[in-house]
Structure 1
Amino acid sequence: MELYTEKESMMALRLEAPALGSLSGDSTSLKALLPGAEDSVLPPGDPELCREHGEKFTLFCVDDLEPVCSQCGPTETHEGHRVYPITEAVPDCKGELNSSLGKLLGKSRRFEKVTRIFEHASQHNQSHAQQTERQIKEEFKQLHQFLREEEEARLARLREEEEERKKGMKEKRERMRKEMEFLAKTIREIEEEIKEEGDDITFLQNYQETVKRTWQSHGEPEKVCGPLIDPSKHLANLRYTVWNNMLHIAPYTPVTLDPTTSCRLWSSPLG
Structure 2
Amino acid sequence: MQVLDIPASYILRGTAASGTLRVVAIDATNIVEEARLRHRLSKTATAALGRTLSASALLAIILGKKIDSRVNLRIQGDGPLGFIVAEGSADGRVRGYVRQPGADLPIRESDGKLDVSGLVGKTGELAVTRLLDNAEPWTGSVELVSGELAEDVAYYLASSEQIPSAVQLGVYEEGGRVARAGGLIVQAMPGVSDKTLKALEANIAAMGSFTDNLRRYSLLEVMERATQGLDLVAASEAQAARFQCRCSRERATDSLAFFGPDERQDMVAGGGQEVVCHWCNEHYQITPGEIAALDAPDVRAQA
Q: Which has the higher contact order (CA 8 A, sep 6+)?
A: 2
Q: Could you say which structure has the higher helix fraction?
A: 1
Q: Could you say which structure has the higher strand fraction?
A: 2
Give TM-score scaled by structure 2 length: 0.19
Give TM-score scaled by structure 1 length: 0.21
Q: Which has the larger radius of gyration?
A: 1
